[in-house]
Structure 1
Amino acid sequence: MEHLEEQEPQLKASHDDQTRALEVLADPAVHGGALPERIDTHLSHVFLGPEYALKLKRALQFDFVDYGTEEKRHAYCLREVEANRAWASEIYLGVEPVWVLNGQHGVGNPPEAAQILDWVVRMVRFPDSARCDRLVENNALSGELIDGFADELAEIHRSSPAIHGVDLRAELDRLVRQIAHDIDRGCGNPELDQRIESWREAALTTLHSNTAIVVDRAAKGFIRRCHGDLHLKNLVLWDDRLIGFDALEFDPGLTDIDTLYDLAYTLMDLVHHKRRDLANRLLNRYLAVRDHYAGLELLQLYVSMRAGIRALAGFFAGQTKIPTAYFRLAEEAIAEYSGPVLLMIGGRSGSGKTTLARRIAPQLPGALGAVHIRSDVLRKTLLGVAPEEPLSSKHYMDAERLSVYAAMAKRCEKVVQSGSSCVLDATFLSSEAQEIAKALADKLAVPSARVWLDAPNEVLAQRLAERDADASDADLKVLRKQLSLPDPAGWTKVDVTRAPKESAAEVKTLCCNIVQA
């Protein structure tokens, strides 16, 4: 189920001599006159020119893939381009021959009677600064980019064919044991032995206690053809959006995986890069646009396994600092956390409910914090439209509003029962909505709080006037109707005329108090 490109492979044989092909690819004439930069990995030789990257698969046979002959490498090049078609068709331009003839040589468009030395994948080159890990390091990864990536990832997963006949539980069990064994073998540090064993036991316990959920996900078609390697270095900013590249191609067992496990790689790496807030936002946008809140019980395990894999890859590459940090994350991700909390955030349009929810959700108990369910987004999802697509007033009649609140409650119940905290974000102005909120809190019987965001009318009006593309369709006319309704009784008022971080700190303190009560 997993590809560890950086790990030390089990080399079985070496076949074709690629010396001449490497000489051709190193020739500046092949790259428009510029001397290319060469990068060697365990699987490939990559030549970076000013505009294009040429990727040559190494003539080696590993225990997990055979690149031993020119014919096989050609086939795998074609498979790589095909595997990345759904992810980065703009970057992957095609497969081209490396050729020689009478002292001449080149890449692509070989003359008649030319000798084909090998094959390369031609890709558009992008700057390293566009890679997602660099964007994070430079504080250039916005929430809007995360939302767009979540939308595209959800659509790719939705449209990918379901894979049946995979024993997901057995595959996960095998992989957990493999990760633990290989980390132990790769790091060569006896001091880590007990920690590795403890991690293995915790991961297996989580897996076995959720066997029914694992079996259910496989039966319901959530094993699909995925990317398989969506860590931050394999995401790039392209035309103002994040896209994945370098999808795995050489073994369906590496990519025919649970869609949530595919997502977990990006989530884990964002946490590793100290952006838990963006990981939480990615998770919530993905769950919202797919309208699928099942399987959250497995999120801890999946995030932990992904961190273990990155630790393992680093150990085999001879690193120490980064792998240790990844392994620590693997341990932390699988650790138990306090039980779920239910937080309901109400307020009139413009009060900053979503801003506050996004600040507080990553800090609440859960594998990656709380699941944030927003009425404005759920309404659009139920109608099959994008969250930012405007709706007419007919979709905001009383009956439609109550149906959205009922749908929120249903999804919230599933989330909390999975062990994750939940934040509900809606106006909660009508008495019927408030009754749904109270009934939900009583039914779930977990620590809960109902917070009402309070601000002067003129502040609300100014915020609405300044609002850009958003899932909320509220305008000043809607606000005037809301102002005619009283504040709900029994909700804790929070002043939101302060800086958002101050309001969030107050709400976090409130949540901590209800947990300790």
Structure 2
Amino acid sequence: MKELPALIKKLLEPEAYPHRPEKVELIQTHISYVFLAGDLVYKIKKPVDFGFLDFTTLEKRKFYCEREVTLNRRLCPDIYLGVVPVVEKGDTAYFEREGEPVEWAVKMKRMPEEGMMGRLIAQGRLRQSHLDLIVKKLVPFYQQAETGPEVNKYGTLEAISFNVEENFSQTKDFVGRALAPHRYEHIVSWSRTFIKEKEALFKERIAEGFIRDGHGDLYSANICFDEPKNEVYIFDCIEFNDRFRCGDVAQDLAFLAMDLDFHELKDFSRYFIDQYVSLSGDKGLLNLLDFYKCYRAYVRGKIGCFTWASPEVPEEVRNKALNDARRYFDLAYLYAEGVPWLIVIFGLSGTGKSTLARALRDKLLTNYYNSDIVRKKLLGIKPEEHHYVPFGKGIYSEEFTLKTYEAMARYAAEDLVRGRDVILDATFRARNLREMVLEAVKDLKVKLLFVQCVAPDEVIKARFEERAQKTAEPSDGRWEIYVKQKEVFEPPTEIPEDKLLVLETTRPVEELAQIVVNHLKAEIASPLSDLQ
């Protein structure tokens, strides 16, 4: 991990503070050093230049500290105490001492940790009354926030298009790793079409005065509740770039609504927007809500990608950032009217279904459920632990097979609701097992494809002989099991022809995967040219 600058190390000592806290904690963001010092917080800006912000000189850092205090006092007048100097005397540094400043800091009151909105969400303590406090604070805030020609320019089609296209250009390198190509193309196409077709709506929002100097970063990480005082603090607005803070009030509100959706609190998300519309009378924001939700979700996905790509970040943090990025992109896809795919790869043991399913998983970035792995997980068995029992016995009894398929269908439905494409990989040898999947998703908006894998007996026999040498393979399939399965297999006559693809799997898996992709491309309206 990168070593701290000498000045920052000095400021970790309690004697650096006029009130002498018992201990000092340091939190770093990519742009700030934040010192938690008892009941006070001091924040120093890092000397960085990311293009969209420039803190490279002491003069600029002082300016943006002052800007941060001025802007945040609009919503948190009691929290932002002012801008204070940092001075050095010998081997010690001090906040708020006489002398030549070597740095500047924002001084704040420390808000109650137990009231942080993110903590309330994580602990299941968020209530509608919390959202009521937010709405009552935001309605007058936006009504009083600055507007006029200098602010209105951020609500023009040119400004909106610039922000949206910037996201797309900055995430191109992550397509295929954090976001499937077909989803990227869909979101791009939908966003551009929306902007073009809703030109009159965007102009109307400017004319009606809904472009305001807002917050710019309105989500749970920047909201805190002081419950004994029945107060809410909405802090840390964007001070370093007017383009990110100014715009349609719908854009700010969409951020918090999207954040609640991300935390699977859709009822709270709807309630928040409904209450804001009711109190403000701004029904027009509903026409733009999904567009701005899509934009905000995409921004969060982009930030997650940047974190994942940062080598100095610990691996576990990078992995979580990538997982979160994919979830944000799932949301963006849903807001852009995208419909997730459920692809069921089935066939008898040895027909190559798992090889194809895994290749498609990697190509399409889907969630993937293999019956052997799910079965053993339900039993607390490691995937590579083999149970070579007779057909229909032991862990492969009819009863446990039903439990396994029920679990797979449930997992698939849960993921599809969140917007993720899913691949199920199992024999699905009986009609009732396939119908179980159909039943699980019958009320969901989903595109469905069954891919049946078949192969000649001699090929399958050779595959089993080869598989016997691979101890890490989760499947317990064997030639004798295949023969039994073949006797009882029920043809998929209940699957509509347009939702069934039969593949002879003697060709290379790359060719087979491309056949499936081509089939999907024919079903999706937006272009999938990158899926090659």
Instruction: Confirm or deny a common fold (TM above 0.5).
Output: yes
Is residue 2:12 matched to residue 1:26?
A: yes
8 Å CA contact 2:80–2:107 kept in 1: the answer is yes
Matches within 5 A, 1:116-127: 116-127=101-112
Instruction: Tell me the alpha carbon deviations over residues 200-222 of structure 1, each in whole angstroms, 9 at most, x when there is no partner.
Output: 11122222221100011112221
**Letter paired with 2:267:** D
Q: C-alpha root-mean-square deviation of aligned residues, in Å?
A: 2.1
**Letter paired with 2:61:** R
8 Å CA contact 1:186–1:316 kept in 2: the answer is no
Task: Report the CA distance shift for 1:190/1:265 in structure 2 as closer, same or farther (over 3 A).
Answer: closer
Residue number among 100, 106, 113 corresponding to 1:115 in the alignment: 100
- SS of the aligned residue for 1:61 comes to coil
Q: Alpha-carbon deviation of 1:33?
A: 4.3
Q: Alpha-carbon deviation of 1:334?
A: 1.9
Is residue 2:256 matched to residue 1:263?
A: no
Q: For 1:181 and 1:192, locate their aligned partners in 2 and report how far apart those are by CA, in whole Å.
A: 15
Q: Percent of aligned positions with the same letter in both sequences?
A: 27
Q: 2:276 corresponds to which residue?
A: 286
**Letter paired with 1:207:** I
Instruction: Tell me the alpha carbon deviations over residues 412-437 of structure 1, each in whole angstroms, 9 at most, x when there is no partner.
Output: xxxxxxxxxxxxxxxxxxxxxxxxxx
8 Å CA contact 1:96–1:119 kept in 2: the answer is yes
Is residue 2:134 matched to residue 1:149?
A: yes
Q: 2:148 corresponds to which residue?
A: 163
- SS of the aligned residue for 1:90 comes to coil
Q: Alpha-carbon deviation of 1:263?
A: 0.7
Instruction: Tell me the alpha carbon deviations over residues 111-153 of structure 1, each in whole angstroms, 9 at most, x when there is no partner.
Output: 3xx2311011111223443221211121111111111211111
Is residue 2:257 matched to residue 1:272?
A: no
* Normalised TM-score (structure 2): 0.57
Q: For 1:82 and 1:64, locate their aligned partners in 2 and report how far apart those are by CA, in whole Å.
A: 20
Q: For 1:28 and 1:89, locate their aligned partners in 2 and report how far apart those are by CA, in whole Å.
A: 27
**Letter paired with 2:322:** T
Is residue 2:42 matched to residue 1:41?
A: no
Task: Report the CA distance shift for 1:58/1:207 in structure 2 as closer, same or farther (over 3 A).
Answer: same
Is residue 2:183 matched to residue 1:195?
A: yes
Q: Alpha-carbon deviation of 1:173?
A: 1.7
Q: Alpha-carbon deviation of 1:50?
A: 2.0
**Letter paired with 2:44:** L
Q: 2:196 corresponds to which residue?
A: 208
Instruction: Say which one has the larger Rg.
Output: 2
Task: Report the CA distance shift for 1:276/1:191 in structure 2 as closer, same or farther (over 3 A).
Answer: closer
Q: Alpha-carbon deviation of 1:49?
A: 1.8
Q: 1:96 corresponds to which residue?
A: 84
Q: 1:300 corresponds to which residue?
A: 290
Task: Report the CA distance shift for 1:219/1:191 in structure 2 as closer, same or farther (over 3 A).
Answer: closer
8 Å CA contact 2:178–2:305 kept in 1: the answer is no
Q: How many residues of Structure 1 are paired with residues of Structure 2 in the alignment? A: 318
8 Å CA contact 2:139–2:276 kept in 1: the answer is yes
Residue number among 227, 230, 235 corresponding to 2:218 in the alignment: 230
Structure 2 residue ranges without an equivalent (≥5) = 309-320, 340-532
Structure 1 residue ranges without an equivalent (≥5) = 1-16, 338-517
* Normalised TM-score (structure 1): 0.58
Q: Alpha-carbon deviation of 1:241?
A: 2.9
8 Å CA contact 1:223–1:259 kept in 2: the answer is yes
Q: For 1:218 and 1:64, locate their aligned partners in 2 and report how far apart those are by CA, in whole Å.
A: 24
Q: 2:307 corresponds to which residue?
A: 317
Task: Report the CA distance shift for 1:268/1:191 in structure 2 as closer, same or farther (over 3 A).
Answer: closer
8 Å CA contact 1:147–1:281 kept in 2: the answer is no
Q: For 2:159 and 2:5, locate their aligned partners in 1 and report how far apart those are by CA, in whole Å.
A: 39
Q: For 1:191 and 1:273, locate their aligned partners in 2 and report how far apart those are by CA, in whole Å.
A: 20
Instruction: Tell me the alpha carbon deviations over residues 383-430 of structure 1, each in whole angstroms, 9 at most, x when there is no partner.
Output: xxxxxxxxxxxxxxxxxxxxxxxxxxxxxxxxxxxxxxxxxxxxxxxx
Residue number among 333, 336, 340 corresponding to 1:334 in the alignment: 336
Q: For 2:21 and 2:134, locate their aligned partners in 1 and report how far apart those are by CA, in whole Å.
A: 36
Residue number among 220, 226, 232 corresponding to 2:208 in the alignment: 220
8 Å CA contact 2:21–2:38 kept in 1: the answer is no
- SS of the aligned residue for 2:180 comes to helix
**Letter paired with 1:138:** Q
Q: Alpha-carbon deviation of 1:185?
A: 2.1
